[in-house]
């Protein structure tokens, strides 16, 4: 008999599509868009719910920052203590959200790799399924044959 959680669902079963209430509006949109697709391909389990919730919230925040940067511009005129000859005291600075967005993108890349939502993660999955240890840190060789002995079956496009 399969292990069951308190609510009767099988442990390890796919994630419930119900959108977590704690997500922001943007995060809820991301959840509704990606979780059904991840469930269809068997990429996530119920135990991934918390990490996927954080991922959706971060993606929502990333796009919200991007919209704000697009609206306000990537540079801002900020007041300074120093004054020029005319008595004006301001200089151009990068938008402060640019560095936050860059850090968020890096964190998102890690989560996308964990959930198999990046080309690199999918290549690694195909290589594991084929029993290959890819040379060069997870990249497929340009000729499509990681070990040189089976060129006919080495096309990763055949696994999609």
Q: What is the pLDDT of residues 78-107, one digit of tens each?
A: 888 877 777 678 888 999 999 999 999 999
What average pLDDT does the chain have? 79
Beta bridge partners of 90: 79
Cβ neighbours of 159 (radius 10 Å): 12
pLDDT on residue 116: 84
Please tell me the distance from the alpha carbon of residue 126 to that of residue 121, in angstroms, as a whole number.
9
Please tell me the distance from the alpha carbon of residue 108 to that of residue 97, in angstroms, as a whole number.
16
pLDDT on residue 137: 53
Entry pTM: 0.66
Domain locations in the chain? 9-95
Question: Which one has a higher pLDDT value, 17 or 4?
Answer: 17
Alpha helix positions (H), the chain = 25-40, 49-72, 97-114, 119-129
């Amino acid at each position: 008999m399969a292990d069951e959680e308190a609510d009767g669902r099988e442990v390890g079963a796919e994630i419930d599509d119900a959108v977590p209430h704690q997500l922001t509006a943007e995060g809820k949109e991301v959840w509704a868009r990606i979780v059904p697709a991840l469930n269809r391909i068997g990429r996530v389990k119920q135990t991934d719910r918390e990490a996927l919730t954080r991922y959706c919230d971060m993606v929502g925040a990333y796009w919200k920052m991007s919209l704000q940067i697009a609206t306000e511009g990537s540079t801002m005129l900020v007041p300074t203590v120093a004054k020029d000859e005319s008595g004006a005291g301001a200089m151009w600075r990068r938008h402060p959200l640019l560095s936050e967005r860059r850090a968020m993108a890096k964190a998102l890349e890690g989560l996308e790799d964990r959930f198999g939502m990046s080309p690199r993660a999918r290549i690694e999955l195909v290589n594991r399924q084929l029993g290959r240890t890819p040379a060069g840190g997870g990249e497929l060789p340009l000729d499509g044959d990681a070990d040189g002995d089976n060129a006919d079956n080495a096309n990763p496009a055949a696994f999609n």
